[in-house]
Structures are given as C-alpha cells and as structure tokens.
Amino acid sequence: DAGVIQSPRHEVTEMGQEVTLRCKPISGHDYLFWYRQTMMRGLELLIYFNNNVPIDDSGMPEDRFSAKMPNASFSTLKIQPSEPRDSAVYFCASTLDLNQPQHFGDGTRLSIL
C-alpha cells in the first residue's frame, strides 16, 4: 500500500523565494496534517484539513504560510516569501479519523539560505 507521499524530499532556496511543498495522503484518509520539525521546537502542528476543508490553522506561524487542499488526494504548503528561520523538516500526515493514529510521509527538508 502506498503511504503518504511528499515532494520534494529536499529543497534549498534563497530567502525571498516562494516555496511549495506537496503532499499526497493515503487514499481514503479524510484528515490531512502539516507539521514542522526543528531541533529547537520539536514537532509542531501547523494546520489540518478534514474532507479538504481547513479545520485548525492556529499553528501556522504567520501570513507568509498558506496551505490548500484542492482535492482529497493533494495538498500544498506554501511559504512566500521564505526566510532562513523557515528552515526545517516539514511533514505531512493523514488519518482515517481523529481517533486513529496518523501516518506520516518522509518529509521535505527545507533549507533557506
């Protein structure tokens, strides 16, 4: 079975550039989550969707971050303009419902120079 698929696996770009991270959840999962992982703050929930609708975006750090889920099999996390402090590993996860464990992708390692 295909797991959660994220792309790209690595992204290196200069500050000020727009960055788009992509995620394909497990088929049939109604919930999709975006996390950020850093050494300093660990794993932070940024936003999650239910049936393509954003439910809780209180973890999104600022207006430079936006996330969309145009359909059940695709979501994007966009940072515009990017800053060096955005450097982190960004994970996407999905689950069937909130009572079930989340399944994670392998993440996108983002470096902003």
Partner 1 sequence: GQQLNQSPQSMFIQEGEDVSMNCTSSSIFNTWLWYKQDPGEGPVLLIALYKAGELTSNGRLTAQFGITRKDSFLNISASIPSDVGIYFCAGRSNYQLIWGAGTKLIIKP
| Binding residues vs partner 1 (CB under 8 A) | 4, 42-43, 45, 91, 93, 98-99, 101-107, 109
Asked if residue 103 lies in contact with residue 37, where contact means CB atoms within 8 angstroms, the answer is no
Nearer to partner 1, 8 or 81 (CB): 8
Nearer to partner 1, 28 or 42 (CB): 42
Nearer to partner 1, 22 or 64 (CB): 22
Q: In a 3-state reduction of DSSP, which class is residue 86? A: helix
Work out how close the CB of 54 gets to partner 1 at its nearest, in angstroms, rounded to a whole number.
15
Work out how close the CB of 109 gets to partner 1 at its nearest, in angstroms, rounded to a whole number.
8
Residue 31: half-sphere exposure toward Cβ, Cα within 13 Å: 16
Work out how close the CB of 81 gets to partner 1 at its nearest, in angstroms, rounded to a whole number.
27
Nearer to partner 1, 12 or 15 (CB): 12
Regarding beta strands 5-7 and 53-56, do their DSSP bridges make them parallel or antiparallel, or are they unpaired? unpaired
CA 8 to chain centre: 12
For the sheet containing 19-24, what is the strand order?
5-7, 19-24, 74-79, 65-71
Work out how close the CB of 110 gets to partner 1 at its nearest, in angstroms, rounded to a whole number.
14
